[in-house]
Amino acid sequence: MDQLFSGNTLFDELHVFQPHGMMASKKAANKVRPRRYDTAILLTNSFSTALITRLAFIPRRIGYNRDTRGMLLTDPIAPPRNPDKSWKLTPAVDYYWNIASRLLDEDPIDWSIHTPTNCVEVPLALPKGVTMELGYNEQDESKAKDVLSAANIDDATPYAILNPGGNNPAKRWPIERFAQLADHLHKAHDLRVLLNGSPAETQLCDQIIAHAKTSPISLPKLGNTLGALKPIIDRATIMITNDTGPRHIAAAFATPLVSLFGPTDPRWTTIPVAQLHNGSPSEVILVADPTLPAEESANDHPQRCAIEQIGYERVKAATDSIIQILDT
């Protein structure tokens, strides 16, 4: 977490608490209490985070009234629900924006705006022009330079990033297709191809390299870090990614994206993205079943919306389209 937010100027201090064990909430509260915060915004919905802020005696505690924690909050917010009390399909950025609106004493979001018109997009309540932001510091840049140097990539070398991992195997596009795409990016567009992943996904990257006819490069094998990944993504020509964290990092740096969604509905994570120079969005979202009715969720159709249903040619066409725009 500290590497993710390094170089960011949106806050004054960053403190990461990761207590474990049965007394975790009390230990965390003991660390937070001496700082005498006057307000806590709880972005997570867990009972434990609300308990920590209560035990830390933070006077104002803002969060959604979920998981029986309403009594621990001073400003409990009703979460968005459908008329039948089920959870309303709401993009996470708006879900959090609504909490910030309470802090700023602004009007809450009118949840009716989130009326899907198709199975890919849902309107955002975020004000126009609002985007996600990240930064990086000199240490991140230095590490990124070392990693790219080890990959024989200098400042004049264009490259693409493939992000084949994901915390759930069901979110992972087949490795053979990532390998095929790596070959295409190198041969058709003269791009070096970097494979991103956590240290635990090193083997996944190795499998793609074994299937490729060209020579994609494994970032985990080069000792890449989360901090260094930010400037590496910032410099990239394009990223093709599963539904996972680096997608959001790329959007924060306006790096063009092709994002692949299987049995997780992309409308839960609709994010604001920059525009390309021709006015089109810098992200193309590909779903497994584009014929899914707008009122249904991909989460409820794990077989119909299996990520294997996204064919190679669709991803290749979306990637080529963005690169063509960038080249004009």
Q: Are residues 33 and 164 in the same domain?
A: no
Q: pLDDT category, 204, cuts 50, 70, 90?
A: very high
Token pair belonging to 226:
């989360």
**Model pLDDT, residue 214:** 97
Q: Are residues 58 and 153 in the same domain?
A: no
What's the number of domains the chain is made of? 2
| pLDDT of 116 higher than 90 | no
Q: Are residues 144 and 84 in the same domain?
A: no
Q: Are residues 186 and 313 in the same domain?
A: yes
Contact by Cβ (8 Å): 319, 238: yes
Work out the average pLDDT over 186-192.
98
| pLDDT of 57 higher than 70 | yes
Domain that holds residue 69: 2-113
Any idea what the CATH number is for the domain that residue 190 is in? 3.40.50.2000
Work out the average pLDDT over 50-55.
94
How far is 27 from 45, CA to CA, in rounded Å? 20
pTM over 0.85: yes
Q: Are residues 143 and 109 in the same domain?
A: no
Minimal CA–CA distance to 256: which of 232, 272, 240, 278? 240
Cβ neighbours for 206, distance < 8 A, ≥ 6 positions apart? 218, 221
Q: pLDDT category, 3, cuts 50, 70, 90?
A: confident
**Half-sphere CA count of 202, side-chain side, radius 13 A:** 8
Of the chain, the percentage scoring pLDDT greater than 70 comes to 98
How far is 164 from 174, CA to CA, in rounded Å? 8
Residue 120 located in a structural domain: no
How far is 267 from 123, CA to CA, in rounded Å? 9
